[in-house]
Amino acid sequence: QVQLQESGPGLVRPSQTLSLTCAVSGDSVISPDSYWSWIRQPPGKGLEWIGFIYSSGSTHYNPSLKSRLNISLDASKNHFSLKLASMTAADTALYYCVRGRPATRFDYWGQGTPVTVSS
Amino acid sequence: QSVLTQPPSASGTPGQRVTISCFGDTSNVGANYVYWYQQLPGTAPRLLIYSNNQRPSGVPDRFSGSKSGTSASLAISGLRSEDEGDYYCAAWDDRVLGGVLFGGGTKVTVL
C-alpha cells in the first residue's frame, strides 16, 4: 500500500520560504511510472495544482507559481520536497503531496499539512 | 492559469440521479483525459473516475463519467447520503506553460 506523509512548519512569516517534505512508502520516488505532485487547498476553497517532479528529476510547475517554486526529490530518503519563496497570506492553505500515474491520475494522497502565513 | 468550469452546487434526494458538468476548451478537456475526484468533509480527495470514464477498483458503479468535445460529466445514480461532498474535475492543459487544471468544484448536497 502506497502512503505519503507531509511534514513541515505550520506557520510561516510573510516573505519567508516555505519548505515541505513528503515521505513516500510503498513506492519509489524514482519509479519510472510515477509523478510526484504538490496540490494545495486554501481554506473553504478548491484544489490548486502546484507542480510535479518526475523520477528523472524533471519538473513542471504551475505558471502562476513558477517564479517562486522549487520541487526536488531525494532517492536516498525516498522523499520529495517543495520550496515556495516569498510567502504571502494568499499562500495559506492545506498542502497535499500526491502520486500521479500518469501525471493527472492522482491515485494516492497524503493527509495534508496546514500552512498559515502570518506575522 | 485558467480553471475548468463546474457548477458550484448540485443536489438531489436519496435514490435520484445527479449530473455534474465540467467545461474546458480544445487545449485541455478537448485534447486530454478528464479525471474526477471526490472530497468528503474533512478528508483528502479521492480518485473517482480516470481516463474520462474508468472507475478505480473500490468505486461503486453508481458513479460514471463521460466526455464529449470540450465538456465532461460525472453522474451519480442512486444518490446516497454518504455521497455528500465536493467533486472536482481535472485535466492536463497542453498550452506552452500548461499543466494540471482543476475545476472549481461542485458541492453535492443530499436533501
Arithmetic mean of pLDDT over chain B: 96
Q: Give residue B2's pLDDT.
A: 56
- Note the pLDDT tens digit of each residue in A50-94: 999 999 999 999 999 999 999 999 999 999 999 999 999 999 999
Query: Is a pLDDT exceeding 70 seen at residue A30?
Result: yes
Q: Can you read off the three cell numbers belonging to residue B46? A: 479521492
Closest in A37, A61, A104 to B35, CB measured: A104
**Model confidence at B1: pLDDT above 60:** no
| Residue contact A49–B103, C-beta within 8 A | no
Predicted confidence at residue B97, as pLDDT, reads: 85
- Tens-place pLDDT, residues B7-17: 999 999 999 99
**How far apart are alpha carbons B15 and B110 in whole angstroms?**
10
Residues 13-42 of A with CB under 8 A from B: 37
In chain B, residues with a C-beta closer than 8 Å to the C-beta of A110 are 44
Contacts of A52 (CB under 8 A, 6+ apart): A35, A36, A37, A38, A59, A60, A71, A100, A103, B100
Mean pLDDT taken over chain A: 97
